[in-house]
A and B are shown apart, each in its own frame.
Chain A
Amino acid sequence: MARDVVITGIGLASSLGEGIEAHAHALASNAAPVVDTQSFAPYPLHPLKPLELDKQIPKKSDQRQMEPWQRLGVYAAGLALDDAGLKEDAEAKSQLQVIVAAGGGERDHAVDAAILTGLRNANQPGAFLNERLMGDLRPTLFLAQLSNLLAGNIGIVHGITGASRTLMGEEQAGVDAIRTAQARIAAGQAEIILVGGAYNAERRDMLLLFELGGFLRSADFAPVFARSDAPGMITGSAGAFLVLESAERAAARGAKAHARLSHVGAHRSRRQPGSVAKALDELLAGFGPLGSDALAISAATGCAEITDEEAAAIAKAVPGARRVATGDLVGHSVEAAFPVSVALAAAALSTGAVKEAIVTGAAHWRGEGAARLVKA
């Protein structure tokens, strides 16, 4: 017998600022996004609104040992723990499981550029590379780069001694993190899980990876579902963590449940015309009858046909729904895109603005996911 899973903590930080209120307000008011078109031109992106790190990461030594994406994730995780009322609850933190959707750490761009420039004229490229890397890489950089070290830092900074797992794989990592967390609690394999992800968009190394595949928009900002002139992602720095908890446990401790996470599904298949729409159709159909007045939040990337198919699937499943693209608020945050979208949906439910929400997301390359949230 599957148990109810509720969201008792929401932690959000992005270009819009931090916290539930700032994001719920933007969601309700269609606020204009914060876009930087200059710093990484010709690629627009949504830069993180600077955080007062001390509020969630008190020790400077901890701050120094992390990359921006890790600090953002640890910060958002702290917001979620605060919101759930768990920050000082040692017993809960020993029981709390952590699932993180993560990419990797940032390159030292200056070191890479100097080495690449030097390598072109090096007589012994191998020896040159070894010498420069041995001399120029910061020893701790590696730890700042390891995918699982966001989870590790969350444990260290917030004193969580439950186990953590890190899922990788771009957007789908975020879908599978939330899907797995929900399934484990529903099945009684866990009671309480901190789940989410973080993405730092202000990195040329990641822009390079996506531009190699031709997945970036290199024109001014345009809404996610209106980019046919120049399809592609506009990335944004964002972190989102949720505390998922069995309804029973949440009720026993008198915790406020923002929403109930009733369904999460994920799919993969080789991409071909129509495959994204079909996958999302099937996922949403599996969630049972959906309210026609449900809010639809989409983690769509803005990449051409994929995004068009996602729009069609949403229109088919909830024809009367108000549709909001997470990318129009905070940009596309890759591993964090789905967690951010679920967090936005939970925030909307929490304010009472809506009674039901669906979340969809078709990744830029592979994988589709969907979730359904209802009033707790």
Chain B
Amino acid sequence: MGASHRDSQGRPIVAVTGLGIVTSLGQGKDANWEALTAGRSGIHRIERFPTEGLRTTIAATVDFLFDGSFAAPELSEKLATLAAEEAVAQSGLGEAGDFPGELFMAVPPVEMEWPQKQELAQAVDGDADYDALLRIAARHKHQAMHELFLFGGVAEHISEKFGTKGSPISLSTACSSGATAIQMGVEAIRRGETEAALCIGTDGSVHAEALIRFSLLSALSTQNDPPEGAAKPFSKNRDGFVMGEGAGALVLEDYDHALARGATILGIVAGCGERGDGFHRTRSSPDGKPAILAMQDALADAGLTPDDVDYINAHGTSTPENDKMEAMSCSAVFGERMASLPISSNKSMLGHTLTAAGAVEAVISLMTIANGRIPPTINYNTPDPAIALDVIPNEARDAKVRTVLSNSFGFGGQNTCLVLTAGPNAA
């Protein structure tokens, strides 16, 4: 055994040894990286369901995985499976179906969907109320629907497929869920509870009702034409986010464990910070305090200072409120340096992958470190004078990036920030 390595607080170091990603831009790291650095958008007109009567008719859905119809948990599971297969294969950890670590999964909340309810309703004479549906259900001829719509179903299936150890975690912290999955994996490794963790954020839940719910909250962009122009983080004319789908997967591993088996270290999850916001159910504190504290906590957890950060992977949803709050909070943390510190939003191209976003963007952040190239914020044509940031407008930029701060902020006052760094021996 070699000497054991510890972080600045004497804890096990958490290495990243595998990455996987699927988004509307394609499957796998190569396809996504090529598209992201080319400034290509995955946002398009929705064809999955009729959009008559809807204010928003675009989304960054993943349409290349199923031929027929499917329920949201089935797509979420497929996305997670593909991302996890890529990440686990890259890590070279364990054997097929026998991953020697725990599973932490950010999964979208589920409930029975319309096609299944309609299937039951078809068997009903008279009004299709819930008592009637219950009578059909009591025949026990639709048992698969139970498993399909359990909250724990997707993680259970992933755990079974990959052979992860322990009780699989299904979690939600709204739009910061993907980051929380990583944070919980980091904590488990630091506790010495597990030497590896498979952390996944997945979301394949763009269906009519999901879109309508966000639409009724006036959260979505309604600038449908052209679709690829709708997500405009930090622009003056931004008008809401665009729903997206995808999955990101990371294999986290105790650094010494990874070294001992000669694994390639892709990066380090150096720090995590999280803060609640008791201000409002959908709005952030106007003073940005929870976001500021979450960023500062993440840096402190990593034993780093704001000066160490080379690039911020923004939450950058393209809603009027988030982008303003995020810019202000970053300025509070980074001071005058913020005018020149690169910050870009992957959501300008991927839309908001919601439950998956924190994991998807962590994967992209680590690719940014590895490639020394920062994906742009596209559609940045009308700068918001109130937000003076270097958003890497429209074109990717080469830059030496060793340390990334990745932000995730969500409904319900959820703020989670990650500090991701290059491996100790990277140039």
Contacts and interface: CB of A to CB of B under 8 A. Distances in A.
Interface in A320-376: 365-367, 369
B140 A165 contact: no
A168 interface: yes
B412 A151 contact: yes
B212 to A, nearest CB: 5
A211 B138 contact: yes
B117 A112 contact: yes
Interface stretch (B48-56, B82-90, B327-335): B48-56
Given A152-B412, A213-B146, A365-B147, A134 B190 contact: no
Given A161-B290, A165-B184, A180-B184, A153 B281 contact: yes
Contacts of A65: 281
B172 A160 contact: no
Contacts of A164: 173, 276, 412-414
A142 B112 contact: no
A33 interface: no
Interface stretch (B155-163, B389-397, B399-407): B155-163
A130 B55 CA distance: 10
B149 A209 contact: yes
A208 B138 CA distance: 9
Contact of B128 (A103, A117, A124, A212): A117
Interface string A131-156: 10110010101110111110111011
Nearest to A65: B281
Q: Which of A159, A160, A209 has the most CB of B within 10 A?
A: A209
A31 interface: no
A159 B278 contact: yes
Contacts of B410: 148
A130 B277 CA distance: 33
Nearest to B50: A126
Given A116-B133, A146-B412, 11 more contacts: A103-B151, A117-B127, A143-B411, A155-B413, A161-B277, A164-B276, A173-B151, A183-B191, A184-B191, A187-B190, A268-B156
Of all A-B residue pairs in the complex, the 7 with the closest CB atoms, nearest first, are: A169-B152, A152-B412, A213-B146, A126-B50, A266-B167, A204-B130, A163-B274
Interface of B: 49-54, 107, 109-112, 114, 117-118, 121-122, 127-131, 133-134, 137-138, 140, 142-143, 145-147, 149-152, 155-156, 159-160, 166-174, 180, 184, 187, 190-191, 193, 208-209, 212-217, 274-282, 290, 294, 410-416
Interface of A: 43, 65, 98, 102-104, 107, 109, 112-113, 116-117, 119-120, 124-127, 129-131, 133-134, 137, 139, 141-143, 145-149, 151-153, 155-156, 158-170, 172-173, 175-176, 179-180, 183-184, 187, 189, 204-205, 207-215, 218, 266-268, 270, 365-367, 369
